[in-house]
């Protein structure tokens, strides 16, 4: 068993009693003052694509403001959403009107500070944070390898998937370490590249692996300065996958989700829909979600996380949230949310397991293998696009010659050839730009990460 699996299994066993105790405390609204309650939620805020977007956001804001509509349906009543979150990390806030409503309505009603991040070609990464704490610092790390421009219908490249880093001044009332007063907590909020297939080129595994490696480097730098770190968001990586292992085994972060045990994907597939959410914490592709009701039962999985540093943070409760359904509209989003209650103190010492040298080497070598395999495919893609560009130039030259000699003899044929030439010219130029500029940029970015991974390997 890998060290990350051992950590998560220990977290499950050690925290189960605390989990049940804290559940009861929340039912009577008696949460410790020195705990921090965090929510991460992918809101599905695509303009023109996401159905009933404004209506759903209205209900999301009301629910998080503590005044939900009385007619909301609860597929799992025990998971009714709380409204007393200290930190709300959001993904897919891509429309300005929804962002403004969150700030003016939710932020004003709950007296929350807010920070929404702006980068990308079209709308920005869609990342935002609302919090009761003062924001000390914030910055955005935009992933250098993130999708391809010719996948226009997917949009990852154009929104600029990123890692949003926000440092908060939080109240630290933990006296066990002799400290009391203001302390820092760094929230890393991300929405990584989405998979569009289970395997192959359209799975974009390499892009997520590289993004996970970038996150690992940022987390490590923050840890070296003594910061408390929590990584949250829609990480688009199933538990045990290579990106997930990079973000846990290499960083030392552990999953905050408290469960009786660690379930395999096969075990999750054998559960009922309710069990998948309650026991395994599935947040995506659940048949209980009206926007994913047509998915296969076995597809339910966890993609939304709060990964914590057990040396500095302890989780006392966790659960799936935002499962409510708006009658006549549907679920609040195509994802469920995830929340956890954290204390700014070290977890049980048994959770702090250092990743072995052998496992670190294995993970780093896996990264190199994934990059090398993808580079072969990317080079073929570049060759095809540049070949298309070259052939297009030849065809355009031939079309000009044809039109010159036939325009007076056969006018209509000249018009058809002219229109066809324009189409070939446009597509050829686009593929020339894609192949020469963007494909080259992607390959250089991958090569840079590969060299960084090799540096890590050589330093072990």
Cα–Cα separations (whole angstroms), residue 8 to 12, 267, 310, 341, 391: 6, 17, 11, 16, 55
On the CB side of 372, CA atoms within 13 Å amount to 9
Q: How confident is the model at residue 372 (pLDDT cuts 50, 70, 90)?
A: very high
Question: Helices 357-406 and 205-224 sit at what angle, rounded to 10 degrees?
Answer: 130
| DSSP string over 41-63 | EE----TTTSTTHHHHHHHHHHH
Residue 193: partners with Cβ closer than 8 Å, 6 or more residues away? 143, 146, 147, 156, 161, 204, 207, 208, 211, 236
Q: Which of 35, 152, 164 is nearest to 92 (CA)?
A: 164
Dump pLDDT digits (tens) for 67-80.
877 789 999 999 99
Query: How far lies 399's CA from each of 97, 177, 260, 407, 413, in Å?
Result: 49, 79, 70, 11, 11
What are the catalytic residues? 335
Tokens read off for 277? 């959410």
pLDDT computed for residue 172 by the predictor = 53
CA atoms within 13 A on the CB side of 341: 20
Give the pLDDT of residue 260. Answer: 66
- Write the DSSP symbol of residue 70: T
List the end-to-end C-alpha distance of the chain, in Å, as a whole number.
Answer: 21
Question: Mind listing the pLDDT tens digit for each residue in 208-262?
Answer: 999 999 999 999 999 999 999 999 999 999 999 999 999 999 999 999 998 767 8
Take residue 342 and report the two structure tokens written for it.
């954290």
For residue 4, pLDDT over 60 is answered with: no
Q: Give the pair of three-digit tokens for residue 92.
A: 């897919």
Query: CA-CA distance, 282 to 335, in Å (whole number)?
Result: 9
- Between strands 128-131 and 134-142, the pairing is unpaired
Neighbours of 156 (CB within 10 A): 21
Query: What's the whole-number mean pLDDT along residues 418-429?
Result: 91
| Angle, helix 205-224 to helix 439-459, in steps of 10 degrees | 50
- State which fold the 3-355 domain adopts: Deoxyribonuclease I; Chain A (3.60.10)
d(CA 256, CA 120): 30
Task: Read off φ and ψ for residue 271, nearest 5 degrees.
Answer: -80, 165
pLDDT for 26 equals 43
Query: Residues near 186 by Cβ (< 8 Å), separated by ≥ 6?
Result: 165, 166, 167, 168, 222, 227, 228, 229, 230
For the ranges 81-85, 287-291, 292-296, 455-459, which has the lowest average pLDDT? 81-85
Which pLDDT score, from 0 to 100, does residue 6 have? Answer: 53
Candidates 157, 143, 117, 318; CA nearest to 214 is 143
Across the range 425-443, mean pLDDT stands at 94
CB 263 within 8 A of CB 277: no
């Amino acid at each position: 068993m890998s060290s990350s699996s051992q950590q998560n299994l220990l977290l499950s066993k050690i925290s189960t009693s605390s989990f049940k105790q804290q559940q009861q405390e929340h039912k009577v609204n008696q949460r410790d003052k020195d705990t921090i309650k965090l929510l991460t939620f992918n809101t599905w805020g695509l303009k023109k694509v996401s159905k009933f977007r404004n209506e759903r956001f209205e209900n999301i804001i009301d629910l998080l403001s503590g005044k939900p509509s009385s007619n909301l349906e609860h597929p799992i009543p025990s998971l009714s959403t709380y409204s007393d979150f200290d930190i709300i990390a959001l993904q897919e806030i891509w429309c300005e009107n929804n962002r403004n409503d969150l700030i003016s309505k939710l932020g004003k009603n709950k007296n929350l500070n807010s920070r929404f991040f702006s980068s990308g070609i079209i709308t920005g990464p869609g990342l935002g944070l609302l919090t009761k704490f003062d924001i000390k610092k914030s910055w955005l790390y935009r992933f250098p390898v993130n999708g391809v421009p010719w996948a226009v219908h997917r949009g990852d490249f154009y929104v600029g998937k990123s890692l949003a880093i926000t440092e908060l001044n939080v109240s630290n009332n933990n006296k066990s370490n002799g400290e009391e007063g203001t302390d820092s907590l760094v929230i890393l909020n991300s929405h990584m590249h989405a998979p569009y297939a289970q395997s192959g080129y359209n799975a974009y595994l390499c892009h997520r692996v590289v993004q996970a490696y970038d996150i690992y480097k940022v987390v490590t730098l923050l840890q070296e300065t003594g910061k408390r770190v929590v990584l949250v968001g829609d990480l688009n990586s199933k538990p045990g996958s290579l990106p997930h292992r990079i973000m846990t085994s290499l960083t030392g972060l552990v999953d905050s989700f408290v469960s009786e045990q660690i379930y395999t994907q096969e075990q999750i597939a054998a559960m009922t829909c309710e069990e998948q959410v309650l026991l395994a914490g599935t947040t995506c592709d659940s048949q209980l979600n009206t926007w994913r009701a047509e998915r296969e039962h076995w597809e339910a999985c966890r993609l939304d996380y709060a990964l914590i540093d057990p040396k500095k943070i302890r989780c006392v409760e966790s659960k799936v949230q935002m499962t409510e359904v708006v009658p006549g509209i549907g679920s609040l989003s195509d994802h469920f949310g995830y929340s956890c209650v954290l204390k700014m103190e070290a977890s049980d010492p048994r959770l702090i397991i250092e990743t072995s040298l052998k496992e670190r080497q294995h993970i780093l070598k896996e990264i190199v293998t994934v990059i090398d395999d993808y580079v072969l495919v990317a080079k073929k893609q570049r060759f095809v696009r540049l070949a298309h560009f070259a052939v297009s130039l030849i065809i355009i030259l031939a079309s000009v010659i044809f039109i010159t000699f036939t325009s007076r003899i056969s006018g209509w044929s000249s018009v058809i050839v002219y229109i066809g030439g324009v189409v070939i010219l446009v597509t050829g130029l686009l593929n020339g730009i894609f192949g020469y500029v963007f494909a080259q940029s992607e390959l250089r970015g991958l090569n840079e990460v590969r060299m960084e991974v090799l540096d890590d390997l050589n330093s072990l």
